[in-house]
Structure 1
Amino acid sequence: MTSNLDPAIAARLKRSPDGLVPAIAQQYDTGEVLMLGWMDDEALHRTLTTGRCTYWSRSRQQYWVKGDTSGHVQHVKSVALDCDADTVLVKVDQVGAACHTGARTCFDGDVLPLGK
């Protein structure tokens, strides 16, 4: 699939064998980690140019814009690559729940015990 992603950005990305990079969504003002999704080059391009998070659904094999069906929109504040360029951090202003379960974050319901 062709993408409109800036070639300079595309050249830096280190993708999985299926062409994806993990994208962490974080609340921009509190630092709260909200969710993890997957992006290919086109999803990243759409995220950078529309101001709304676009992800690639591995199960449905299609793009989805966070909030289009739920109303729980992610307004993009910034996008950064990690030091290895294999993960994207998207700082967002989350409207409503980030998790498909209806929870604010995908990471608050199953905290694992720490060993001593």
Structure 2
Amino acid sequence: MQESPTENNQPSWLDEICWTEDGLVPAIAQDAETGEILMMAWMNRESLALTVQEDQAVYWSRSRGKLWRKGESSGHQQVLKDIRLDCDADVILLKVEQKGGIACHTGRRSCFYRSLQDGEWVSTDPVLKDPDSIYGKH
């Protein structure tokens, strides 16, 4: 992807995004091969620029207040295959290769594992790996 630097040394294409008041944009990670939606996270200008630069998903953790490279704790990285911007320029779609097959911190393939059935949220997807074994908790 061709990057044109702006005055602050960030690519000019970042200016075309409609950022929230706190400087974020929602990003949806989708399996590039199957089309399965894996997760949603937030990105700021720096994390999005790094994602493109490194060809690996980098998000902004609102709870920790810092950059978060997907897979830095779990080893389950997301390799960038394509990036899209929606028609309103306020949502990013990352088409990724999910390394290790697990995108969710619960040990599931996708964060969207609950289905509304008869007025209740029901877990429909299995835990593929115990989160404690992924993150080293005891």
TM-score when scaled to structure 2?
0.77
Could you tell me which runs of 5 or more consecutive residues in structure 1 were left unpaired when the two chains were aligned. none
State the match for 1:43 in structure 2. 47
How many aligned positions are there? 112
Local SS of the residue matching 2:115? coil
What is the Cα deviation at residue 68 of structure 1?
1.3
Contact 1:38 1:57 (8 Å CA) reproduced: yes
Indicate how the Cα distance of structure 1 residues 24 and 4 shifts in structure 2: closer, same or farther if over 3 A, else same: farther
Q: Distance in 2 between matches of 1:40 and 1:86?
A: 12
State the match for 1:27 in structure 2. 31
Indicate how the Cα distance of structure 1 residues 114 and 33 shifts in structure 2: closer, same or farther if over 3 A, else same: farther
Q: Distance in 1 between matches of 2:59 and 2:26?
A: 10
What is the Cα deviation at residue 64 of structure 1?
0.7
- Aligned-pair Cα RMSD in Å: 1.7
Identity %: 50
Aligned equivalent of 2:69, options 59, 65, 70:
65
Alignment of 1:4-23 (within 5 A): 4-7=9-12, 9-23=13-27
State the match for 1:76 in structure 2. 80
Amino acid corresponding to residue 90 of structure 1 in structure 2: L
Could you tell me which runs of 5 or more consecutive residues in structure 2 were left unpaired when the two chains were aligned. 1-7, 120-138
Q: Distance in 2 between matches of 1:10 and 1:76?
A: 17
Amino acid corresponding to residue 78 of structure 2 in structure 1: Q
Q: Distance in 2 between matches of 1:114 and 1:48?
A: 42
